[in-house]
Chain A
Amino acid sequence: MALLEIENLHAEVDGKPILKGIDLSIEAGQVHAIMGPNGSGKSTLSYVLAGREGYEVTEGSIRLDGHDLLEMEADERAVAGVFLAMQYPVELPGVTGMTFLREAVNARRKAVGEEEIDAMGFLKMVRAKAKTLGVTDDMLKRAVNVGFSGGEKKRNEILQMAVLEPKFCILDETDSGLDIDALKVVSEGVNALRTPERSMLVITHYQRLLNHIEPDVIHVLAHGRIQKSGGKELALELEQNGYADFVEAAA
């Protein structure tokens, strides 16, 4: 069985249907990419997977490792191994990056009945990971995302992912806002996390990212449904023709 199984997923926000029957299954170890026009429901899908309140599932199911995700709150899903690197990371005034990471790790440990993590060892581990992702010590001491540049916020998301070591990662437009060098650094960081057990869902608008993080499957999402799935060639095709085919087809 696949690590992630989405079946006939329908979801609405404020009574407005956005996802209209999504079927998607991702095997352990696979990376899938989702592309699609603005407003097609990509971020909505990522929120629904992560369990954000206000995103109401009206039909269908989501299973992670056989467990029904829809039965779980956002924090329980995180503990179960779901991680969402957000398109717009949120500012937490007064909460330092290091504190935030420690709280997140300890929340997981508490859930499985483990002791709190050793503060010194943790500090070292985080610093080492931060370094490979180009996250400075200064950023770890500052309040989470407050005053961070767009690119810094994105790196910070991937650092959290690297520290939390989730089973299933969703990257929502992690490439937007990154400069050319940062794109490389972050992609390498993401690739380093690719293991036979871990799966990823990478949302992007640009084929460029997929040169760095090579997906096993690419899906095109439009009008709340997956309109087409294919290999790397699909991204190149989109680069050439845009979404016109899909938008008109479904309209």
Chain B
Amino acid sequence: MAATVDTVRQVEEVTGRAYKHGFVTDIDMDMAPKGLDETTIRFISAKKEEPEWLLEWRLKAFQQWQQMKEPNWAKVGYPPIDYQDLYYYAAPTQKPQLNSLDEVDPELLATYEKLGIPLKEQEILAGVVAVDAVFDSVSVATTYKKELEKHGVVFCSISEAVRTHPDLVKRYLGSVVPAADNYFACLNSAVFTDGSFVYIPKGVRCPMELSTYFRINAQNTGQFERTLIVAEEGSYVSYLEGCTAPQRDENQLHAAVVELVALDDAEIKYSTVQNWYPGDEDGKGGIYNFVTKRGACRGKRSKISWTQVETGSAITWKYPSCILQGDDSVGEFYSVAITNNAQQADTGTKMIHLGKNTRSTIISKGISAGRADNTYRGLVRVGKRADGARNFTQCDSLLIGDKCGAHTVPYIESKNPSARIEHEATTSKISEDQLFYCMSRGLSTEDSVGLIVNGFCKEVMKELPMEFAVEAQKLIGISLEGSVG
């Protein structure tokens, strides 16, 4: 009926609102020469004063990468990436060793403040969150270090960890995502620049949320961060990452690797609020977000849960996974993926059940508007020895307008007859009835859409740490602004 036509027209009219974080920071940068070969890798490694073993590890990964082919099975399309036309290292020029936040370039502090991430410790959510801020290739500040050290928690940039905790890094780096795991992970292994390192000692419940903010600033620069979190026996940590980038006409590559290790009775809660620049309404510019995230539940009764709210990026290619090795271990994946305009997302998870009585839950909420494409791709695999393994998967898609797409691609492989795997999927539209109902109570079109979509995502949103849930709720509203009439 007429109303639907209007809805679609309004989608077209108002989409592509200004991206709030699209500004550029003008700052002196120390860059590696453009392009990628062994020299680039040696340059990065030298800049970071890395030990020989790490350089070797990088070089080996680079050799393997050169033999590999870029994957094309995902339901995303983009012109070929010229890997020689990128910068692989960009760091703000600054004094190498910072003793306190006062020494951080004020331009940088101002940038983070504009992003709503004050790095002055006293201001950070009254002490409930510690932040590591990564600007292009390097970590610029980590807050609350002293407080964390009291509990034996290590939270620093991975470059720093290579220097201060080489044994831990050597032991766990690449142990969950091997260097040659896939094309983008392999590239990352060769050229990774920075990222966060977290170590929670035995029996410690990390006293605050840990959080990293990633920011791509420099032009034609790839961001290859690497995050490693190790939770020893009986420990607990909740970690959140947020991401933004300036608005640029060229596409920027982001190929991160995240590895989590949970030992006996340990729990890691990893939350992502991803708001990279999505490109304009015609699909010009925006971040290519090709990320490998994987957690190993090595210990008995260990638990890893991934919660993600993905609203940005031109293309998202990302499957946070859990390898459930320990008996009775638990994997969870809660996801909200929003695509608007020309955005494409192919995202989902892999739950690999190896131990006995391992359980996994997957709740995925995909929302597409404009001409966007949104694919859920999920694998549930149950190994021979995983007696009593259980999985529950629920995939819901919400469509706004009639030019967007939603696809659900579940793969189920079970080698154990005692496994129980359930899969539910629904696709719905924001109905004109719902919009009118909300508006007839006084809500603007945009607030109505925000309310309905947040309701649709509720099961996922409630998994986010309290401090970030409100922010994420607003982000959902903003990213769909004008997508419906």
- What residues of chain A have their CB less than 8 Å away from a CB belonging to chain B? 13-14, 50-54, 56, 73-75, 77-79, 82-84, 86, 89-95, 99-100, 103-104, 107-108, 111, 143, 160, 164
Contact of A92 among B2, B438, B442, B459 (CB under 8 A): B438
Residue contacts A-B, CB under 8 angstroms, 23 given: A51-B440, A52-B436, A53-B7, A53-B432, A53-B485, A73-B439, A75-B439, A75-B442, A75-B445, A82-B440, A89-B437, A93-B456, A94-B456, A94-B457, A94-B459, A95-B458, A99-B451, A100-B441, A100-B451, A103-B438, A103-B443, A107-B442, A107-B443
What is the chain A residue whose CB lies nearest that of B365?
A94
Q: Is B181 an interface residue (CB 8 A)?
A: no
Chain A residues lying within 8 Å of B458, measured Cβ to Cβ, are 94-95
A53 touches B437 (CB 8 A): no
B436 touches A74 (CB 8 A): yes
Contact of B444 among A56, A75, A93 (CB under 8 A): A75
Q: Is B434 an interface residue (CB 8 A)?
A: yes
Beyond A78-B442, A99-B451, A107-B447, 10 extra complex contacts between A and B, CB < 8 Å: A53-B436, A73-B445, A78-B439, A86-B437, A90-B431, A91-B434, A95-B454, A104-B442, A107-B444, A164-B442
Q: Is B1 an interface residue (CB 8 A)?
A: yes
Q: Is B452 an interface residue (CB 8 A)?
A: yes
Q: Is B455 an interface residue (CB 8 A)?
A: yes
Q: Once the chains are docked, how many angstroms separate the CA of A127 from the CA of B437?
A: 22
Chain A residues lying within 8 Å of B443, measured Cβ to Cβ, are 75, 103-104, 107
What is the distance, in angstroms, from A107's C-beta to the closest C-beta of chain B? 4
What is the distance, in angstroms, from A104's C-beta to the closest C-beta of chain B? 4
Chain B residues lying within 8 Å of A108, measured Cβ to Cβ, are 442
A95 touches B451 (CB 8 A): yes
What is the chain A residue whose CB lies nearest that of B452?
A92
CB-CB under 8 A for A74 and B439, given A54-B1, A54-B2: yes
Q: Once the chains are docked, how many angstroms separate the CA of A54 from the CA of B439?
A: 14
Majority SS at the chain B contact face: helix
Q: Is B3 an interface residue (CB 8 A)?
A: yes
Q: Once the chains are docked, how many angstroms separate the CA of A79 from the CA of B456?
A: 26
Majority SS at the chain A contact face: mixed
What is the distance, in angstroms, from B6's C-beta to the closest C-beta of chain A? 6
Q: Once the chains are docked, how many angstroms separate the CA of A50 from the CA of B435?
A: 13
Chain B residues lying within 8 Å of A75, measured Cβ to Cβ, are 439-440, 442-445, 448
B440 touches A50 (CB 8 A): yes
Q: Is B433 an interface residue (CB 8 A)?
A: yes
What is the distance, in angstroms, from B104's C-beta to the closest C-beta of chain A? 35
Q: Once the chains are docked, how many angstroms separate the CA of A156 from the CA of B281?
A: 40
Q: Once the chains are docked, how many angstroms separate the CA of A92 from the CA of B444?
A: 16
- What residues of chain B have their CB less than 8 Å away from a CB belonging to chain A? 1-3, 6-7, 431-434, 436-445, 447-448, 451-452, 454-459, 485
Q: Once the chains are docked, how many angstroms separate the CA of A83 from the CA of B459?
A: 31
What is the distance, in angstroms, from A72's C-beta to the closest C-beta of chain B? 11
What is the distance, in angstroms, from A243's C-beta to the closest C-beta of chain B? 28
Q: Once the chains are docked, how many angstroms separate the CA of A90 from the CA of B444?
A: 17
Quick one: which of A52, A86, A91, A94 has the most chain B CB within 10 A?
Answer: A94
What is the distance, in angstroms, from A69's C-beta to the closest C-beta of chain B? 13
Q: Once the chains are docked, how many angstroms separate the CA of A78 from the CA of B440?
A: 6
Counting from the closest, the 10 A-B pairs by CB-CB distance are: A94-B455, A54-B3, A94-B458, A95-B455, A78-B442, A90-B437, A104-B441, A74-B439, A107-B442, A53-B3
Chain B residues lying within 8 Å of A52, measured Cβ to Cβ, are 3, 436, 440
Q: Once the chains are docked, how many angstroms separate the CA of A103 from the CA of B442?
A: 9
B447 touches A103 (CB 8 A): yes
Chain A residues lying within 8 Å of B451, measured Cβ to Cβ, are 92, 95, 99-100, 103
What is the distance, in angstroms, from A218's C-beta to the closest C-beta of chain B? 25
Chain B residues lying within 8 Å of A53, measured Cβ to Cβ, are 2-3, 6-7, 432, 436, 485
CB-CB under 8 A for A90 and B433, given A53-B2, A100-B451, A107-B447: yes
Contact of A56 among B2, B445, B485 (CB under 8 A): B2
Chain A residues lying within 8 Å of B439, measured Cβ to Cβ, are 51, 73-75, 78
What is the distance, in angstroms, from A160's C-beta to the closest C-beta of chain B? 7
Q: Once the chains are docked, how many angstroms separate the CA of A83 from the CA of B485?
A: 20
Q: Once the chains are docked, how many angstroms separate the CA of A164 from the CA of B443?
A: 12
What is the chain A residue whose CB lies nearest that of B396?
A93
B432 touches A54 (CB 8 A): yes
Chain A residues lying within 8 Å of B444, measured Cβ to Cβ, are 75, 107
A14 touches B1 (CB 8 A): yes
Chain B residues lying within 8 Å of A160, measured Cβ to Cβ, are 441
Q: Once the chains are docked, how many angstroms separate the CA of A79 from the CA of B442?
A: 5
Q: Once the chains are docked, how many angstroms separate the CA of A104 from the CA of B454?
A: 15
Chain B residues lying within 8 Å of A90, measured Cβ to Cβ, are 431, 433-434, 436-437
Q: Once the chains are docked, how many angstroms separate the CA of A83 from the CA of B443?
A: 13
CB-CB under 8 A for A95 and B452, given A53-B3, A104-B442: yes
What is the chain B residue whose CB lies nearest that of A170?
B440
A93 touches B433 (CB 8 A): no
Chain B residues lying within 8 Å of A78, measured Cβ to Cβ, are 439-442
A164 touches B1 (CB 8 A): no
What is the distance, in angstroms, from A6's C-beta to the closest C-beta of chain B? 18
A94 touches B454 (CB 8 A): yes
Q: Once the chains are docked, how many angstroms separate the CA of A135 from the CA of B448?
A: 24
What is the distance, in angstroms, from B83's C-beta to the closest C-beta of chain A? 43
What is the distance, in angstroms, from A37's C-beta to the closest C-beta of chain B? 23
Chain A residues lying within 8 Å of B445, measured Cβ to Cβ, are 73, 75
Chain A residues lying within 8 Å of B432, measured Cβ to Cβ, are 53-54
What is the distance, in angstroms, from A45's C-beta to the closest C-beta of chain B? 14
What is the distance, in angstroms, from B13's C-beta to the closest C-beta of chain A? 15
B442 touches A111 (CB 8 A): yes
Q: Once the chains are docked, how many angstroms separate the CA of A92 from the CA of B436?
A: 12
What is the distance, in angstroms, from B427's C-beta to the closest C-beta of chain A? 14
Q: Once the chains are docked, how many angstroms separate the CA of A13 from the CA of B7?
A: 16
Q: Once the chains are docked, how many angstroms separate the CA of A54 from the CA of B447?
A: 20
Chain B residues lying within 8 Å of A95, measured Cβ to Cβ, are 451-452, 454-455, 458
Contact of B437 among A51, A56, A77, A92 (CB under 8 A): A92
Q: Once the chains are docked, how many angstroms separate the CA of A153 from the CA of B262?
A: 47
A14 touches B442 (CB 8 A): no
CB-CB under 8 A for A164 and B441, given A53-B6, A56-B2, A95-B451: yes
